[in-house]
Amino acid sequence: MSLILTPLAQNLRTNQTEAEKIVWSRLRNRQFMNLKFKRQVPIEGYVVDFLCQERGIIVELDGGQHEGSEADQMRTEILESSGFLVKRYWNNDVMKNIDGVLVDLQCALNTLTPTLSQGERGYKDEEDEC
């Protein structure tokens, strides 16, 4: 399946949205929490916007057409059932408040237990929350 999605992923990397450009400029080259992120990665029959494999987190950016999308909800459920945490952010929030988006993402990453393998990923105690 990923071989079928590879050309799509390559096209999406070439034709990023403005919101994707902003997020990528902050995540690339281990600039964010010294974590390796990839963009437009085929997973479980989907191409996800951003992936940090070592922490098992997927970041998806959504425009207005995604509001209330049952397809997005199903996509999230499938990805999470495969052991990933999916964080969704509105393009508008990225454009107007990238620092707030990154604080929220950092908080989510801080709650993940990095030592567990994918599918066994857990969360730290409530007291460790941001």
Looking at residue 79, what DSSP letter applies? H
Predicted confidence at residue 124, as pLDDT, reads: 46
Rg (Cα) of the chain, in Å, rounded? 14
* Count of CA atoms in the C-beta half-sphere (13 A) of 56: 20
Starting at the edge strand that comes first in sequence, how are the strands of the sheet with 46-52 ordered? 38-43, 46-52, 57-62, 85-90
| DSSP-based three-state secondary structure for 126 | helix
Predicted confidence at residue 87, as pLDDT, reads: 96
Q: Specify which of 1-10, 68-77, 116-125 reaches the highest per-range mean pLDDT.
A: 68-77
Q: What are 121's two structure tokens?
A: 């990923």
| φ, ψ of residue 60 in degrees (nearest 5) | -115, 135
Residues 83, 121: Cα–Cα separation, whole Å: 7
Predicted confidence at residue 125, as pLDDT, reads: 43
Summarize pLDDT for 81-124 with one digit per residue, the tens. Answer: 999 999 999 999 999 999 999 999 999 999 886 544 445 444 44
Tell me how many domains the chain contains.
1
CATH of the domain at 10: 3.40.960.10
Tell me which of 35 and 118 has the higher pLDDT: 35
In which band, very low, low, confident or very high, does the pLDDT at 70 lie, cut at 50, 70 and 90?
A: confident
CA 10 to chain centre: 17
Domain of 71, in residue numbers:
2-128
